[in-house]
Amino acid sequence: MKIKEALEELRKEKKRKFVQTVDLVVNLRNFDVRKEALNTFVEVPHSKEKRIGAFLKKRTKMVDTITEEDFVKYKETKDIKKLANKYDSFIAVAPMMSKIATKFGRVFGLMGKMPSPQAGIITEEDDSSIKEMLEKMGRVIRIRNKEMAIKLAVGKEDMSDDDLAENIDSVIKSLEKKLPRGKENFKEILLKFTMTKPIKIFEGGK
């Protein structure tokens, strides 16, 4: 089924009381997850609203800020996990990264929430740099897999079908480039909303 046709079918499902996330599920084949697991980023053309936290030296009204003085609030692992779960992703100013890694790295790393040079680290702490990074983070999707499937949030159901289709197509093409055997690694690709059953939009060998 084509992407737009799948989106039309998904929109016929029962409406929920919240804005559902649009998920792309890529099941893999001919892939050694122990040696070839992905930990990378792709950027899509249309952003979706994200909850972003920022590790900065000074507070700003532009984004929820965690300064070095705030680190004392996170003494226990459960407190750090709570912080990580509060946001979809984090940005940080480069000079703070070593201290962030020391304090939060063990938990953030496992949860895929550490700011990365590929997405999330700014060199200068000024309004324009922060604004530019926040806009970029809305378009960046992190790809991590430890099993034979990759699940990615590619948008929200309140986005237009055209924008969603462009995001989905962009992610699939980026994945094809990043996987060791390209399209041959795709067993099947499914599309779903948070509370719906998945619809198949691609099957390997067809």
Q: What is the pLDDT of residues 52-76, one digit of tens each?
A: 999 999 999 999 999 999 999 999 9
Residue 86's pLDDT is 95
Q: Is the pLDDT of residue 206 over 60?
A: no
Q: Is the pLDDT of residue 122 over 90?
A: yes
Residue 204 pLDDT grade (very low, low, confident, very high; cuts 50, 70, 90) = confident
Domain boundaries, the chain: 3-38+145-203, 52-139
Q: Is the pLDDT of residue 78 over 80?
A: yes
CATH superfamily of 52-139: Ribosomal protein L1/L10, domain II (3.40.50.790)
Q: How far apart are CA 206 and CA 54, in angstroms?
A: 44
Phi, psi (degrees; rounded to nearest 5) at 154: -105, 0
Chain center to CA of 137? 9
pTM reported for the whole predicted model = 0.78
**Strand 140-144 versus strand 121-122 pairing type:** unpaired
What CATH number was assigned to the domain covering residues 3-38+145-203? 3.30.190.20
Average pLDDT over residues 78-96: 96
Q: How far apart are CA 77 and CA 55, in angstroms?
A: 18
